[in-house]
Structure 1
């Protein structure tokens, strides 16, 4: 008797790499929200039915992409570590160079985008990507292996890995911007400073000059900050904020906001005529909420999960929608601006004296918050989270 063929989907990575890499390419070009069985099939030049047969539905495809990313990360990590055999990056004072080069490594650009997109989606719905913790753990293990000879390598590797998780989308977006690259180098060096002597005033001033220079194009595009809206505009702005929180920046449109407000899209357009106006109103509403949270309790700085997601969402969406680049630049700056006095006090440094170190710690805290949200855990307060890094 002839054995019947097994028609169940092939769930293993074997033989499916071409499909998964096509899916990764789609994510890198359109974001995870733009990935469907149809867009992947078009990219891979195969039928939707072939993907369904070999892998399964969209949820199975996302799970397989995570497994593919783990596989690729392990290969890149092994190659990366071979460059530093027998070298202690801390003792050799090369760790800042390694961090910046890792963030810029061309061979992992697609993987970096995919990982950021996966972490962002999981931060909204951890059950959608249960394996994302394994992927993030592998990324952290890379630094743990490289820094095994350092004093307290776990604390240092956590600080580096979680800073990189936050910085990565901005590095992808702004790699060609000289002011950004200088600012990032300054921030990375500050990330690795502990209880060192106070830095020279000139260095602190230089860091803030870079912040200001980077803010120039953002300020020009954003225009002057609008006053807090009132009446119908205020109601619509709060609904825009809710849409961003629930669905992400990429979901914004007059129609979607109108549905959230139970009003016609034309009415939304009357108050917020352009896409930029809609986005700016929602961002400002979210920041007003964050500032209210900060005033209510010092323990919530540097912001809620909404702000954590917003900053990454802005940077990732700007990769395929350049109109959002000014917002992404602004997001990177404003998080530290809102809480730098509190963070300086927790670091036991004079507020305003080492803004680079404060910014570095804010970014590590936000990276930690994103990781915790992605694995389905509530981020700890900032003072508690800082204990993970020291």
Structure 2
């Protein structure tokens, strides 16, 4: 499957997904971009399910090569020094989001789709396990018993952070905010944090454009039919994936004629823009909601899929970056106390550490959804609490 002709098709498919998302992937478009016939693609690759399986497998093989290079690069470094480990995590994310941008975007899109249909993406489980094994193996000599959970935590963090790095890695304020959370990750969430984490609130405030000044993609007047239909589009994106959005499906969901949907949203791109805006508005309501936070809902499939859908949209459209950054900077905003108490006990966690923990938990949720696994098989609050306690004990000894 690594012949030149096969790679031409796979690279064309990746470029399609990077430009248009998973909704833009079709056999005919890939054959056209590869400069060949649909029959040739069918003969060399197979149907669309086979194309996706080959994309997952090729990504796995390439990541294995990347991981081997990283193991060699880290061989002479002491990963027990937090700034060293933080620099490695940063460089790892930067390589994925720049040098391997199309491949990384494809991996993020396939991971999100696998969350809707784990059986349809069986290779994703192996790919994710490889990531976790890579980090755990790299840490084994220095951290011994803690290496498995710590490695999984880093893999989960990177899983959630990657689409934001692809979309906004050029933004210095985002990079400073990311540096603060990576620093707390490298410290195992232990202690009270220092360096950038001492200025965390300032970094959060500076990251991205204020939602009040960032223009939304389309006009959705509150209470209008257009806004109501946009909410149905958003539900389709979350429940069935962006690739499933059609005028017919939205009309069926809303219980209205196709013509009514087409009147407000002429093209499929119009549908997707409106649905994405509805998701943004819903997430703002979630983040600004009053009352006791519902942690299960905050880490639930709908929230995970929504934030990643917005980040991936921003990777393809710079006008969406402010909204992606708004989602990223407000990770843990309404669950800081609950997460802090669950991991840090009565003393809780500083805000940089609690945001880091939420990124880890979202990454664990993505893996659980995509592989049909339980979060117990990835990383839990209890495991993060034990990890932090282990780091704290070492610091005290």
Question: TM-score range with shorter-chain normalisation?
Answer: 0.7 to 0.9
Partner SS, residue 221 of structure 1: coil
TM-score (norm 2): 0.81
Deviation at 1:107, TM superposition (A): 2.9
- Kept after mapping to 2: 8 A contact 1:126/1:373: yes
Pair 1:83 & 2:73 matched: yes
Rounded Cα–Cα distance in structure 1 between residues aligned with 2:386 and 2:121: 25
Match of 2:326 in 1: 330
Query: Which runs of no fewer than 5 residues in structure 2 stay unpaired?
Result: 389-397
Match of 2:138 in 1: 146
TM-score (norm 1): 0.83
Deviation at 1:87, TM superposition (A): 2.7
Moved more, 37-46 or 60-69: 37-46
Rounded Cα–Cα distance in structure 1 between residues aligned with 2:343 and 2:14: 40
Partner SS, residue 86 of structure 1: coil
Pair 1:127 & 2:119 matched: yes
Rounded Cα–Cα distance in structure 2 between residues aligned with 1:168 and 1:198: 26
- Kept after mapping to 2: 8 A contact 1:24/1:111: yes
- Kept after mapping to 2: 8 A contact 1:158/1:388: no
Count of aligned pairs: 372
Match of 1:7 in 2: none
Alpha-carbon displacement from aligned partner over 1:178-231 (angstroms, at most 9, x marks no partner)? 00011111110011234644346x8555211111111434441157xx9x9668
User: Structure 1's 219 and 288: CA in aligned 2 closer, same or farther, altered over 3 A?
Assistant: closer
Rounded Cα–Cα distance in structure 1 between residues aligned with 2:121 and 2:77: 36
Match of 1:245 in 2: 238
Q: 1:321 aligns with which of 301, 311, 317?
A: 317
Q: 2:53 aligns with which of 42, 63, 87?
A: 63
Partner SS, residue 172 of structure 1: helix
Q: 1:20 aligns with which of 5, 10, 13?
A: 10
- Kept after mapping to 1: 8 A contact 2:56/2:123: yes
- Kept after mapping to 2: 8 A contact 1:302/1:365: no
Moved more, 75-84 or 131-140: 75-84
Rounded Cα–Cα distance in structure 2 between residues aligned with 1:96 and 1:90: 10
User: Structure 1's 101 and 199: CA in aligned 2 closer, same or farther, altered over 3 A?
Assistant: closer
Deviation at 1:284, TM superposition (A): 3.5
Match of 1:4 in 2: none
Rounded Cα–Cα distance in structure 1 between residues aligned with 2:94 and 2:198: 26
Pair 1:281 & 2:278 matched: yes
User: Structure 1's 285 and 351: CA in aligned 2 closer, same or farther, altered over 3 A?
Assistant: farther
Match of 2:214 in 1: 221
Match of 2:91 in 1: 101
- Kept after mapping to 1: 8 A contact 2:364/2:375: yes
User: Structure 1's 248 and 329: CA in aligned 2 closer, same or farther, altered over 3 A?
Assistant: farther
Moved more, 149-158 or 288-297: 288-297
- Kept after mapping to 2: 8 A contact 1:344/1:358: yes
User: In the TM superposition, what are the counterparts of 1:1-390 in structure 2 within 5 Å?
Assistant: 12-15=1-4, 16-91=6-81, 93-105=83-95, 106-151=98-143, 152-194=146-188, 196-199=190-193, 204=197, 206-221=199-214, 236=229, 238-248=231-241, 257-263=250-256, 264-265=260-261, 278-285=275-282, 295=292, 298=295, 300=296, 302-348=298-344, 354-379=350-375, 383-384=381-382, 386=384
Query: Which runs of no fewer than 5 residues in structure 1 stay unpaired?
Result: 1-11
Q: Once superposed, what is the RMSD of the aligned Cα atoms?
A: 3.4
Moved more, 97-106 or 29-38: 29-38
- Kept after mapping to 2: 8 A contact 1:302/1:362: no
Deviation at 1:321, TM superposition (A): 2.4
Match of 2:395 in 1: none
